Chain A
Amino acid sequence: GAVVSQHPSRVICKSGTSVKIECRSLDFQATTMFWYRQFPKQSLMLMATSNEGSKATYEQGVEKDKFLINHASLTLSTLTVTSAHPEDSSFYICSAGRGAYEQYFGPGTRLTVT
């Protein structure tokens, strides 16, 4: 089956610093990847669509300058949380698309901003 990995699985950073999260499709190429954020006891909220070789498309209310997305290859998308603050602490999950109706989710990255 299709496997998507995320790195790191957990990260703690200080307020004001930036942190990068990687999402990789291990055994297939993904022209599109998606980034979600999940707060405790809440659902997954789509943040942005990452397109290989072009700019990401952000959902309404998501600051593109704060959440930088780079999709440099067909197997890697990165999400950088810039100038992180405690309210950015969350569970970040990516997914990779293979075909119109196939999406495979990563295991998530727990970000804690102190």
Chain B
Amino acid sequence: EIVLTQSPGTLSLSPGERATLSCRASQSVSSSYLAWYQQKPGQAPRLLIYGASSRATGIPDTFSGSGSGTDFTLTISRLEPEDFAVYYCHQYGSSPRTFGQGTKVEIK
């Protein structure tokens, strides 16, 4: 099973700042089958990024993903008030599929 470790656990930033979230895999993620999700309290997760760097439908270009192999990054270039949430990485290339434990982006 591929274990995904996200860091930091919590990121305290102000609106307008840049957020950089990390996801490290215990073994290589095949074909960059790595996705990122955003989850707000009381809501279902929302797909942001798939294939490590492709934005899902309707996702603004302030969100970008990068990386390959075992190291992946989600960058939010300028935090808007609605971006404060929990973010999860997810690998879907190997069985079983797995999620990281999440990074909470909170208002400083």
- A and B found bound together: no
